[in-house]
Amino acid sequence: MNELVFIGLGLNDEKGITINGLEETKSATNVFVELYTSLMPDFSLQRFEALCCRKIQVVSRQMLEEENGKVILEAAKKGKAVFLVPGDPFIATTHITLRIDAQKQGIKTRMVHGASIMSAIISLSGLHNYKFGKTVTVPFSENFSETPYNVISQNKTLGLHTLCLLDLKINENRFLTISEAIKMLLEVEQKRQKGMVTPDEVAVGLARAGSGNPTLKADFVKELVDYDFGAPPFSLIFPGDLHFMEVEALIAFADAPASLRRLAK
Amino acid sequence: MNELVFIGLGLNDEKGITINGLEETKSATNVFVELYTSLMPDFSLQRFEALCCRKIQVVSRQMLEEENGKVILEAAKKGKAVFLVPGDPFIATTHITLRIDAQKQGIKTRMVHGASIMSAIISLSGLHNYKFGKTVTVPFSENFSETPYNVISQNKTLGLHTLCLLDLKINENRFLTISEAIKMLLEVEQKRQKGMVTPDEVAVGLARAGSGNPTLKADFVKELVDYDFGAPPFSLIFPGDLHFMEVEALIAFADAPASLRRLAK
């Protein structure tokens, strides 16, 4: 069978994959993995290879972007190729091009889903899934942009929460911290004065979502900016209107100050 | 160890769980499962029990809502209790209350994430994750509401996609179909005349996301309303502005008509 199966590795470590994903990996002709679109803090390729009882080829961003994943497509023309991707395979939009190219070359594609950082963050926070608006990535300062501030403002105006993913460069071991992201947003607030990301607004910081030791802290921005979240990866939520059950969840799970109760709607 | 571990079953069948989730289930003192918040079309409790090498107690909506999950909390006070939930544990907001109650009673809680229908639908569609606005559930006609139409309108005005989950009553084997959902939205359009859900707008229908045989079809609403999607569960996406790469993905994966290319922005 000539096909290309995209499989989500899920979160954190080599056991974040599903049983279905593991079985598909074992039965493939060739197996490839990329580990640059998301950080899986406790993932060991060696342990994963032991779990699958086989060798796996690591592909770089360069191999995928400059060479259009040629090596993967060639393998899929000769048998069943599996491409392992952190999280759920197409939540990072990077690999959609590879899937379109495969289909255009007559290669059948399928996917086996994995747990995604998106739903993990929402699950951990205790905030209501259907109250999240558009998601945004906060870039490093050298790529400064007002977009994150604008997305938060737009969502907040509609009463919606904003999930902010914080930029990372895994190859360089660089991770935008929660404190850096907040400072960048406060800087835009200084200019725009819309009252959207002020020191007195509430935010929720998360580190290592999906791992065995996530850190979750809800507090006023002025406090959160100095909080020690430990090791990456990081993310940040700016809540819109808070239902009283959401406030109770933030107090129970994210160590939010009890004074948050007066914000419940 | 006294604790309550919420574990996501992931999607479709008993092998949608992660290796971590399966190991945690095997080592628990007591294991509970609910199967009413999402449909897992190919899930067999018997096969899952064989996979875990143990008996699992099914809990009903009534046991959780009317009796506040007392049986689970009592088990968690005596050892390690595992509560298995379809998808990612807190994407359906139902179980947040149980987690808060557990914490209030001094029971430590943790979670092991699973693949969620939310990221599965987005991954399958090839649409860009960061362009989705607020999500909405379309109810059965006896609970008719204009909210879904309003959410689609709001998102579309901002250029954003809307993910519509379609209501289901698993105990009664009732599933709102894509056709029924579209007709309900067209009815609101008739009244409101905002041009948001017309027969000439594009939508994407999905059936059995996360299974081995998902059906995906993008087309104009007037065509989609008669399309046969086969067995449930169903969902529906109303796209906002479409990037040309998103249009190519819909043509490649969702059998969209080539005329969609003129809509790309």
Average pLDDT over residues B51-62: 95
Contacts of B113 in chain A (CB under 8 A): 10-11, 16, 115, 119-120, 123, 210
The alpha carbons of chain B give a radius of gyration, in whole angstroms, of 20
Helices and strands (DSSP H and E) totals, chain A = 10, 12
CB contact under 8 Å between A91 and B129, yes or no, is yes
Residue of chain B minimizing CA distance to A13: B20
Give A65 or A14, the one with higher predicted confidence: A14
| Chain A CB contacts of B240 below 8 Å | none
How much is the pLDDT for B180?
A: 97
Tokens of A259: 């004074």
Distance from the Cα of B136 to chain A's closest Cα (Å) equals 6
With contact defined as beta carbons under 8 Å apart, do B22 and A19 qualify? yes
Chain B closest CA to A82's CA: distance in Å? 15
Is the CB of A113 less than 8 angstroms away from the CB of B11?
Answer: yes
Reported ipTM: the value is 0.95
Contact B23 A15 (CB under 8 A): yes
Share the mean pLDDT of chain A: 95
By CB atoms closer than 10 A (0-12, 13-18, 19+), residue B258 is exposed
Contact between A113 and B51 using a beta-carbon 8 Å cutoff: no
Phi, psi of A108 (to 5 degrees): -70, 140
Q: According to the model, what pLDDT value does residue B91 have? A: 87
Nearest-neighbour CA in chain A from B232: distance (Å): 18
Nearest to B134 among A160, A210, A252 (CB): A160
Q: State pLDDT tens for residues B144-195.
A: 999 999 999 999 999 999 999 999 999 899 999 999 999 999 999 999 999 9
Contact assessment for residue B51 and residue B14, using Cβ atoms and an 8 Å cutoff: yes
pLDDT band at A21 (very low <50, low <70, confident <90, very high): very high
Torsion sign (Cα): A253, A256, A258, A263:
negative
Residue range B103-127: mean pLDDT, rounded: 95
User: Are A200 and A174 spatial neighbours (Cβ–Cβ below 8 Å)?
Assistant: no
User: Long-range contacts of range A51-57, CB-CB < 8 Å, 24 or more positions apart?
Assistant: A51/A14, A51/A15, A51/A22, A51/B19, A52/A22, A52/A25, A52/A26, A53/A26, A54/A25, A54/A26, A55/A31, A56/A31, A56/A32, A56/A84, A57/A30, A57/A31, A57/A32, A57/A33
Nearest CA of chain B to the CA of A76: how many Å?
A: 17
Tally A–B CB contacts below 8 A. 175
Question: Which amino acid is it at A34?
Answer: E
Q: Which residue in A16, A91, A124 is closest to B18 by CB distance?
A: A16
Q: Are B135 and B162 in contact (CB under 8 A)?
A: yes
Sort out which chain A residues have CB atoms less than 8 A from B126's CB and list them.
90, 96, 99-100
Identify whether the C-beta of residue A133 lies closer than 8 Å to the C-beta of residue B133.
yes
CA-nearest residue of chain A to B130? Answer: A135
Contact B120 A88 (CB under 8 A): yes
State yes or no: pLDDT of B26 exceeds 90. Answer: yes
Report pTM: 0.95
pLDDT score, position A3:
97
DSSP E strands in chain B: the ranges are: 3-8, 30-33, 57-58, 80-85, 108-112, 136-138, 162-166, 168-169, 174-175, 202-207, 215-220, 234-238
Say whether residue B161 is in contact with chain A using an 8 A CB cutoff: no
DSSP state of A170: G
List of chain A residues whose C-beta atoms are within 8 Å of the C-beta of residue B114: 18, 115
A108 touches chain B (CB under 8 A): no
pLDDT-based confidence at residue B94 (cuts at 50, 70, 90): confident
From chain B, pick out residues whose CB is under 8 angstroms from the CB of A162: none
Q: According to the model, what pLDDT value does residue B66 have?
A: 84
Helix (H) or strand (E) holding A174: strand A174-175
* Min distance B22 CA to chain A CA atoms (Å): 9
Q: Is B86 exposed, middle or buried (0-12, 13-18, 19+ CB in 10 A)?
A: buried
Using alpha carbons, list the distances in angstroms from residue B218 to A224, B206, B208: 44, 9, 15
Q: Is residue A88 classed as helix, strand or coil in its secondary structure? A: coil
- Mean pLDDT over B60-78 rounds to 92
Report DSSP letters for B21-74, one per residue.
HHHHHHT-SEEEE--SSS--TT--HHHHHHHHTS--EE--HHHHHTSTTHHHHH
pLDDT above 90 covers what percent of chain A? Answer: 94
Residue-wise pLDDT for B220-230, tens only, equals: 999 999 999 99
Residue A115 · residue B120 · CB < 8 Å: no
Q: Is A255 on the interface with B (CB under 8 A)?
A: no
Residue of B11, B13, B14 lying closest to B25 (CA atoms): B14
- Judged against a pLDDT cut of 90, whether residue A65 lies above it is answered with no
Strand partners for A215: A207
Number of H-type helices and E-type strands within chain B:
10, 12
A133 contact B CB<8A: yes
A227-257 residue pLDDT tens: 999 999 999 999 999 999 999 999 999 999 9
Task: Mutate one of B18, B23, B99, B145 to test the A interface: name it (highest A CB count within 10 A).
Answer: B18
- Cα–Cα distance for residue pair B48/B37, rounded to 1 Å: 18
Terminal-to-terminal C-alpha distance of chain B? 56
**What residues 231-250 of chain B have any CB closer than 8 A to a CB of chain A?**
245, 248-249
pLDDT at A68 over 90: no
Complete DSSP assignment for A214-225: -EEEEEEHHHHT
